[in-house]
Structures are given as structure tokens and as C-alpha cells.
Amino acid sequence: TSELATSYAALILADDGVDITADKITTLIKAANIEGVEPIWASLFAKALEGKDVKDLLLNVGSGGGAAAAPAAGGAGAAAGGEAEAAKEEEKEE
């Protein structure tokens, strides 16, 4: 339950457009009257999400392996298309 409470607190902060910090996560957990959550969880989540757009992370869940599978199944023609698609993906990330 500690991890779940911390996750929900981080999502609430991200949804409100507020910076995710250990103090703010802890404040939300206390406001929700959830007991037994060790402060280490708040600091771990805050460090893991520091400088990242949580909404963007949620929208791109599972989008990482599709381009590699296409060339193996589709042959040479699909490989060329897969490489072009992978290049577009890299440009978006940059």
C-alpha cells in the first residue's frame, strides 16, 4: 500500500501541474490519512520522476518495442520502412 499511495500522490501532483517533490507527496499522503508509509518512498518517487513529464510517460507506455519487431517479421521491404519509422521516433524524442 505504501507504493500505491505514493504513486497516486505523484499522479495527483502531475495532474495538477505541480512539481513532484518528496515533501508534497508526503503532504498528500498525510492529508489522505494513510498511515505506515515510510518517507523513503516519497523521496524515491520524487527522484525517479524529477525532470520528467509524467503525463508524457503515461501516454507513451508500451510504445518502445514495435519498430524492432516489424523488420524481423516483414523481410527486407519492412526493414527499410521500420528504419525510417525508428528515425522519426528518435527525432521526436530529441
What digits encode the pLDDT tens for the residues 56-68? 887 787 766 555 5
Q: What is the CATH topology of the domain spanning 1-51? A: Arc Repressor Mutant, subunit A (1.10.10)
- How far from chain centre, in Å, is Cα 78? 30
What pLDDT score does 78 carry? 47
Residue 42: pLDDT band by 50, 70, 90 thresholds? very high
Q: Can you tell me the mean pLDDT for 41-60?
A: 85
How far is it, in rounded angstroms, from Cα 76 to Cα 28? 53
- % residues pLDDT > 70 (the chain): 66
Rounded to whole angstroms, how far apart are CA atoms 31 and 46?
Answer: 18
- Average pLDDT estimate for 64-78: 52
Report the pLDDT averaged over residues 39-48.
Answer: 91
